[in-house]
Structure 1
Amino acid sequence: MTNILIAGVGGQGTVLASKLIAAAAMSKDFEVRTTETIGMAQRGGCVVSHIRMGSKINSPLISRKNAHAIIGFEPAEAVRILPYLSDDGLMIVCDTAMKPVTSSLKGDTYKGSDMIDYLKKNVKKLVIIDGEKLLKECGNAKTLNVALLGTAVESGVFPFNADEMKNVLRDTLPQRFLEINLNSFEIGRRMYNETRNAG
């Protein structure tokens, strides 16, 4: 059984990333259960995707301390679901902050760097992806979800490899968006290795 959580805010492409992971797992004949919890706004509200891959899965929901990996598209959302990460689980987080709707409504001051510092102190296996660098290299914010997917695939947390995920991208994405997404996927893979080697 492999349990993965994706956390971000609306508009970041977390739901598509979840669907791509599920499709890749199903292509390997794994049973897959997924569900999303979506916050107060489609764009700017919190979005958490649960993906469970294996056999004889009773519930799509991942319980606390049972996620093998969390992919945090946004630092505050990664912190919010940290209690679900297993003690030896992997956290991959993009360090670019997007002020959540809840913070905006409350008038809170929000610093993504504070969230990253918290994760550094509380996560044993942490990979921090430089969001500004990732965006610059990808050239399109709409492909950052696929780039982060590349990062996660390269980490080895999934029951499928990069070539199998690229086949899913080819089968799923519209042709006009395929090349830029395949490129972003490879950039994400490379950045995982650069980050690991630097650490």
Structure 2
Amino acid sequence: MLKPVDILMVGVGGQGTILASRILAVAAQEAGYDIKVSEIHGMAQRGGSVVTQVRLGEKVYAPLIPAGGADVLLAFEKLEGLRLLASLKPGGTIIINEQEIPPVPVLTGAAEYPQNILEYIRSKAPGMMSVDAHSIAKECGNAKAANVVLLGVIARSLPIGREIWEKALSRRVPSKLLEVNKAAFAAGYDYKQ
């Protein structure tokens, strides 16, 4: 079956990180995998960090990914990807959204948003894939579906059939937003860097 896969999903409040992890959980369960999910979100509705740990495999005993043990880091925002880069195991995969959402210290002028984040991350994780998920989602009809674009990108690397993903979308996404989210998922699934 599937060797355990540890996925760390990171972003800021309002990006749909938690919804994406819940869609992933539904798809993994539907595919017959054991799954554990742990969410950490403090001031999520105010643009604070959101971290979701997703572990799936034949049998998963604990919800937390060991330090430096993530197989995949799925970053919904560049600075959050940089902040949690040390959580990725050597040789792990990082998929990063090119979007910048300045944190409060940057907005107040107390700090500057770091420059050259993607270049730095690529120097540490040469296989990094960067995606302009915000623009892709906008082309699909709703910029807020960037989370589902990123989910589509990661879906290609997981042994879960595309029809199972679509069923999971139908179960977790409100019906009025389902078609745009299906389009966003397909765009991510077919994305080539």
TM normalised by structure 2 equals 0.90
Q: Which residue of 1 aligns with 2:104?
A: 101
CA distance, structure 1, for counterparts of residue 178 and residue 138 of structure 2: 18
Aligned length: 190
| CA displacement, residues 57-104 of structure 1 (integer Å, 9 cap, x when unaligned) | 232111122111111100010011111111111100011100123543
Partner-residue secondary structure (3-state), 1:124: coil
Q: Which residue of 2 aligns with 1:177?
A: 177
| CA displacement, residues 108-155 of structure 1 (integer Å, 9 cap, x when unaligned) | 1114x521121111113210112453244223122111111111112x
Q: Which residue of 1 aligns with 2:122?
A: 120
User: 34, 37, 42: which is aligned to 2:37?
Assistant: 34
Question: What is the aligned-residue RMSD (CA, Å)?
Answer: 1.7
Q: Which residue of 2 aligns with 1:145?
A: 147
Query: Which runs of no fewer than 5 residues in structure 2 stay unpaired?
Result: none
The change in CA–CA distance for 1:56 and 1:102 in structure 2 (over 3 A counts) is farther
Query: Which runs of no fewer than 5 residues in structure 1 stay unpaired?
Result: none
CA distance, structure 1, for counterparts of residue 105 and residue 63 of structure 2: 26
Q: Which residue of 1 aligns with 2:16?
A: 13
Q: How much does 1:41 deviate?
A: 4.2
User: 110, 114, 120: which is aligned to 2:113?
Assistant: 110
Partner-residue secondary structure (3-state), 1:125: coil
Q: Give the aligned residue type for 2:62.
A: S
TM normalised by structure 1 equals 0.88
Q: Give the aligned residue type for 1:11.
A: G
CA distance, structure 1, for counterparts of residue 100 and residue 107 of structure 2: 13
Q: Give the aligned residue type for 2:159.
A: P
The change in CA–CA distance for 1:102 and 1:46 in structure 2 (over 3 A counts) is farther
Identity over the aligned pairs, expressed in percent? Answer: 34
The change in CA–CA distance for 1:182 and 1:132 in structure 2 (over 3 A counts) is closer
